[in-house]
Amino acid sequence: MLEIKHLKKHFGGVKAVDGSNFTVKEKTITALIGPNGAGKSTVFNLVSGILKADSGEIHFKKKEITNWQPEKISNLGISRLFQQPTLFSNLTVQENLLLALEKEDTKFWKNLAGKNNVSKEQKQLVKKTLELVSMEKFEQKLARELSFGQKRLVELARAILKPHSFLMLDEPVGGVNPKIRKEIATILLRLKKQGETILLIEHDMNFTLGIADTVIVMDEGKVIAEGKPKSIKKNPKVLEAYLGE
């Protein structure tokens, strides 16, 4: 579904992504791992259009999308969960999720002002998605009243709710407690069973190796290993670069 070819992005003398190649197969969970500064988030930013590649190609569903605008990439069906919280703190959980259903933000704000009505179908879809992440009881809570872990679940729900065919998750369990970490693992495995394609970055190795079908390891901007979790665990290059062994 996603193919990265000879992708490069340099920041001055720093080779953040240095000729990386990998593919993400449809209906799988693929994990992109590596030490800090390996280039993982830069790859995410290049795929989602936030950064422009120096060279190389990005293909999504056999269509080249290299250096497209973020809005165009998003509308093509790529939905992303960011590493840092991005909820609107003064809006309710429901309102934050309804925003994901609108292609134009201005339409949403008109709805909030009472100039248009949010449809019954949209509200039902929001409720169903909140049920998926066990957050339906918090639908009318303001985002600022939620714990960090609860916000993460709502952000995950928002990424799922946005019309998409490909999910990119940047550290979905970073900073959450073990209970929510387990809930998110269950959610992602359920989504894969339903036919979702997921690419994730995550530093929690136990979480990553427990749910991923394929693991891609980066170090200093390059892909140094790729394979099943069992083989990655034993790979000498991975142990040296990522685990420090």
CA-nearest of 229, 75, 94 to 158 is: 94
Per-residue pLDDT averaged across 128-138, rounded?
Answer: 93
Q: What is the spatial distance between Cα 11 and Cα 17, in angstroms, rounded to a whole number?
A: 9
Domain match, 138 and 169 both: no
As a whole number, mean pLDDT of residues 209-224 equals 93
User: Do residues 62 and 2 both lie within one domain?
Assistant: yes
Final residue of a domain: which of 162, 177, 205?
162
Residue count of the chain, please give it. Answer: 245
The verdict on 158 and 168 lying in the same domain is no
Q: What is the mean predicted confidence (pLDDT) over 235-242?
A: 79
Q: Do residues 185 and 242 both lie within one domain?
A: yes
The vertex-96 CA angle with 29 and 86, nearest 5°, equals 65
- Domain with 101 in it: 90-162
Residue 26 domain-assigned (yes or no): yes
Q: Do 111 and 136 belong to one domain?
A: yes
Q: Above 60 in pLDDT, residue 112? A: no
| Residue 187, token pair as written in the block | 């959610």
Q: How confident is the model at residue 109 (pLDDT cuts 50, 70, 90)?
A: low
Q: What are phi and psi of 169, to 5 degrees?
A: -120, 115
**Domains contained in the chain, number:** 2
Residue 223 binned pLDDT confidence (cut-offs 50, 70, 90) = very high
- Those residues with Cβ within 8 angstroms of residue 68's Cβ, 6 or more apart along the chain or in another chain: 49, 76
Query: Residue 60 has what pLDDT?
Result: 96
Indicate the average pLDDT of the chain.
Answer: 89
Does residue 85 lie within any of the structural domains?
A: no
pLDDT for 113 equals 44
Q: Is the pLDDT of residue 106 over 80?
A: no
- Identify whether residues 14 and 66 lie together within a single domain: yes
Q: Is there a domain that residue 220 lies in?
A: yes
Q: Assess whether 156 and 168 both reside in one domain.
A: no
- Between residues 111 and 217, which one has the greater pLDDT? 217
**Whether residues 142 and 210 fall in one domain:** no
Indicate the residue among 142, 162, 182 that finishes a domain: 162
- 218 strand-pairing partners: 223
Q: Does residue 71 sit in the same domain as residue 183?
A: yes
- Rounded CA-CA distance 51/68 in Å is 10
User: For residues 151 and 143, is the Cβ–Cβ distance under 8 A?
Assistant: yes
* 166-170 and 198-201 beta bridge pairing: parallel
**Distance between CA 142 and CA 136 in Å, rounded?**
13
Q: Among 118, 146, 162, which residue terminates a domain?
A: 162
pLDDT over 80 at 116, yes or no: no
Residue type present at position 124: Q
Which residue, 184, 217, 222, is CA-closest to 81? Answer: 184
Are residues 99 and 158 located together in one domain of the fold? yes
CATH code for the domain of 18: 3.40.50.300
Global confidence as pTM: 0.87
- Domain membership flag for residue 99: yes
167 pLDDT more than 70: yes
Whether residue 84 lies inside any domain: the answer is no
Q: Is 138 inside a domain boundary?
A: yes
Position 103 scores a pLDDT of 57
Residue 5 lies in a domain: yes
Domain annotation covers residue 82: no
